[in-house]
Structure 1
């Protein structure tokens, strides 16, 4: 994870630098797409949501805190938009009586809810050991494969899988313990998303 590089890119975004935006897109679009696709199971929808995510990144560039992980910000926003899509789809197919998703709509400017979700996710990640934190960030937020993470961290693929397994359990447990800070369906869905490979 190149947090200093991301921090510099966010500062450049604040100065309306389209090159910084392009670099963040190149770095994260594949991982964000994969995360969206895990929930939506629809390539066209995943691509539409991905486009919305990066439009939002550009539109909200002045509000992004350079001291926070931009990959975490993208993760939370893409999760919220995916849930919003699923909730709308459920309504449209009249299954709303048997399935209730959390009110996690970010399109209406519920920045505070997104910030709270982001804070809880960051809190969960920050309680990990340094090595597990690196593995979790690379594999879950940046979408790296076990092999890519192993090469980057100079570890074996087996060690990466082991660290990631422990990290996922710890993050899920932390989120569940603090579920009062989330809406219940959001806890269930984010734990599902984090736990999928």
Structure 2
């Protein structure tokens, strides 16, 4: 964590409203975008994020120091969403990851596709992402779009670092294999 983040977190924990506002400006949008992977209802997602932020403010005096503020907030938000889904009955075994579809919206796909120049390549990438499991898509998002380390991803997902490395390897391998296959098929036809 940078010195600025350490100071910001400390000031927030001491009740500094401007530090709270700085946290909101910095982390609200990334947290919201990450939350769209779990909740399609934007109003419910905003409520969850609002609840998290209010809870953090109310409990700020009891919060511990953290080595990575972004990681702490992402994990707290993920837990808040899962608790909300359990409460409302929407959650049905997200922990097994491989059997559940990750509710990826255009955000994750567009981040991968940004560097692609043709519509044909965009279609290929969208198709391939759809073939990955929920957990694979979530790991790719956290690793490449949120720039988190394997240890940080493991902490958020509640799995071991070797499990993250293995799933990341499998995801990239599967993506690469399907990419080459699609390129071959589309160039032949």
TM-score, structure 1 length as denominator?
0.48
* Greater Rg over alpha carbons, structure: 2
TM-score, structure 2 length as denominator?
0.50
Tell which has more relative contact order, 1 or 2 (C-alpha 8 A, sep 6+).
1
